[in-house]
Amino acid sequence: MHSLRRLFLFIFSTLILLALSLKIEELRVYQGAQIAIYALGISSIVLLTGYSGQVSLGNGAFMAIGAYTAALTQIHWHLPLFFTFVVGTFSAALAGAILGGGAARLSGPYLAGATLALAVGLPTLANQFTILNGETGLDYTSGTPPTWFGESFTLYKWFFWIVLVNVMLMMFFVRNITSSRYGRTWKALRGNPVAAQLSGIQVGGSKVLAFTISAGVAGLAGSLLGMIGFVGPTGFGLGLSFALVTGAVLSGVTSLAGSMLGAVVLVAIPELASVIAHRLGDTERVTSNLPGLIMSTLLILTVLFTPNGPAEQIRKHKARKQ
Amino acid sequence: MQQAINALLIGISNGFIYSLMALALVLVWRSTRVINFAQAGQAILSTYIAYEIVTRTDNFILAFIGGVLAGALVGAVVEILLMRTLFKHVSDGPVAALAPVIASLGLLGLIRSVIGMVWGNDQKPFFPPVSTNGFTFGSTTVPFSRMNLLIVLGAATVMIIFTLIFQKSNLGLALRAAAFQPEIARLAGIRVGAIRTTGWIFAGAAGAVAGILISPNDAITPYSLDSLLIFGFVAAVIGGLESLIGAVVGGLTLGIGLSFILTYIGTSLIFPATFVVLALALIIRPQGLFGSKAARNA
């Protein structure tokens, strides 16, 4: 019954958002798609770090794998769009499973370093293999919206619809798996690995599973990001992994609903930065570096003062009052 | 044969730089149990300061000293302002254990953006103080120049100074004690907090030396030391994260190994190769070459 209610909630909110997109201006629709994608990317970290207690600074690399494989299957095999998403998701998940096998043996700082190495190293591969087309990247398109949607149905609206439906499907899956047996297993692992092992949980296997699913989720997010933007090494570099971690920390790492909040902040930062940069006179040095400055300052302040996220802090504060 | 010697020479020169970065990471890890990803940021900031001095005064020695002092200062500031606050606010929760790692990542981003705002994101040429043309023996020219010699000598000097400090001085004893048994060290009258800061100061200086020595081969940008961070980390992991000697051996192993891969297989493989080396090191010998017992003597 509970999960049935959840299903209706997801369908209902998807329909509302789809309807809303017809009413708001173009730029906001595009940003809406960005927010949905970031929320999915962040939830891949929430699943991994918040539930299974493993850290990954390299989920941007899984997004890159998803985007590139999706784009390649579209270019070379002419797969329909939806199937390219499936391919992107599963190939990233496969990479996650391979890495997760190694990662399950590693503790915090080692894992952080290894995944960071992946985030820095993987995008450089784009320049090494001609099939990946270097800095120019690959052309990956959604195609034009069906004509029977009418003239007023623009490409950005089409992006938003595709993105939203896919994100909501995946989010529903993630939400269900985190409240399933596996979710509880991961929580137990994070809380106390020894106790978890004593109660019959396979530590290694569960950790690898978490890594695999997290990578798959990131892979879908990457395919979607590649579709609305472009598939190239600059878009999927260390900056993306960094943004995901920032978003996850801002949203408190343990809550999937919070990933929306983190995603909104990630999309809002460049807007805010451009307003401030305009005040400061719009020099190239300021405009290109201000978003990074705001983001890293926000990240440091959050970690310093509310390491478990602002939402958690407010909840604690309320609990204390009562 | 000639090719192998060339690969070896390049590897040694790079390896010394990697070792310095690994040393910086190990020093911080030993003193505060944090992998300091901001080390790349601190190092590039020191390098930019050295660059500023060298363009104004045209004196490399002055720039070198200024850059290293700046690196040490930045290390102290980071530890006192960021890490101490962080450990004061430590609470439990899924992120709390990762907080230092994430904070250092944030700091890396912060330093890069600030550098970008002050100096711009474009490449700045860092002119080498000595010739970068390889030495010539008879008719053959080896890819080892006066600059490479300077790198090796500079890095070796830093390592010798550190070894002397750690092995022969009371400060070194305090550093080792505070790293292995903070509680007992405190009981023995060692000011563990101050000693930790000292660890960060040494690390900041070592990172600065690495940055200033590697940059004359290339132009500098706010991002140009990112790959050095990865190489340093891998080197430190090979050596066991705990051991100073391990860091040096790890750096040289990685430097020479990568140089041979680049020479004989292809330059496109540098990052995949590094990643494979890291994975192998972690799987075969997670405690590192000089982990466990040996670390206590380092």
ipTM of predicted complex: 0.85
Tokens of B3: 């090719």
Report CB contact under 8 Å: A288, B121.
yes
Fold of B2-120+143-297: ABC transporter involved in vitamin B12 uptake, BtuC (1.10.3470)
Q: Which residues of B touch A254 (CB under 8 A)?
A: 93-94
Distance, CA of B291 to CA of B285 (rounded, Å): 9
Euclidean distance between CA atoms A125 and B272, whole angstroms: 8
Contact A299 B109 (CB under 8 A): yes
Check A253 against B271: CB less than 8 A apart. no
Question: What is the structure's pLDDT at B298?
Answer: 36
pLDDT of residue B275: 82
Q: Which residues of B touch A297 (CB under 8 A)?
A: 106, 110
Count Cβ atoms below 10 Å from residue B146 Cβ, excluding itself. Answer: 15
| DSSP conformational letter for B33 | S
How confident is the model over A107-150, as pLDDT tens digits?
A: 777 888 888 888 888 888 877 777 787 777 788 877 777 777 77
Q: Give pLDDT, residue B295.
A: 40
* Interface contact A50-B101, CB threshold 8 A: no
Compute the distance between CA of residue A284 and CA of residue B175 in angstroms, rounded to an integer: 45
Choose the closest CB to A299 out of B96, B102, B230: B102
Percent of chain A with pLDDT over 70: 97
pLDDT of residue A282: 73
Across-strand partners of B199?
none
CA-based nearest distance A200→chain B, Å: 22
Say if residue A220's pLDDT is above 90: yes
Instruction: Please name the residue of chain B whose CA is at the shortest distance from the CA of residue A192.
Output: B94
B240 Rama sector, left if φ>0, alpha if ψ -120 to 50, beta otherwise: left
Could you tell me the sign of the dihedral formed by the alpha carbons of B143, B147, B153, B156, in that order?
negative
Q: Which residues have C-beta within 8 Å of that of residue B285, sequence separation ≥ 6? A: B291
* C-alpha distance from A84 to closest chain B C-alpha (Å): 26
Least confident range of A182-196, A245-259, B284-298: B284-298
Sign of CA dihedral A110, A114, A115, A119: positive
Which has the minimum average pLDDT: A84-93, A281-290, A310-319, B173-182? A310-319
Domain locations along chain B = 2-120+143-297
Any idea which of A145-159, A233-247, A275-289, B23-37 has the lowest mean pLDDT? A145-159
Determine whether the interchain pair B275/A118 forms a contact, defined as Cβ–Cβ distance below 8 Å.
yes
Q: Where are the domains of chain A?
A: 2-237
Give the residue, B84 or A220, on which the prediction is more confident: A220
Q: Which of A303, A306, A316, A317 is best to mutate for the B interface (most B CBs within 10 A)? A: A303
What is the spatial distance between Cα A309 and Cα A291, in angstroms, rounded to a whole number?
21
Would residue A133 be called left, alpha or beta, if left means φ above 0 and alpha means ψ between -120 and 50 degrees? left
Which residue numbers in chain B have pLDDT < 50?
293-298
Residues of B in contact with A123 (CB under 8 A): none
Tell me which residue in A125, A246, A289 faces B117 most closely, judged by beta carbons. A289
Find chain B residues with C-beta within 8 A of A286's C-beta: 117
Closest CA in chain A for residue B238: A110
List of chain B residues whose C-beta atoms are within 8 Å of the C-beta of residue A113: 35, 233, 237, 278
What is the rounded distance in angstroms from the CA atom of residue A215 to the CA atom of residue A99?
10
Which helix (H) or strand (E) segment is B211 a member of? helix B192-214
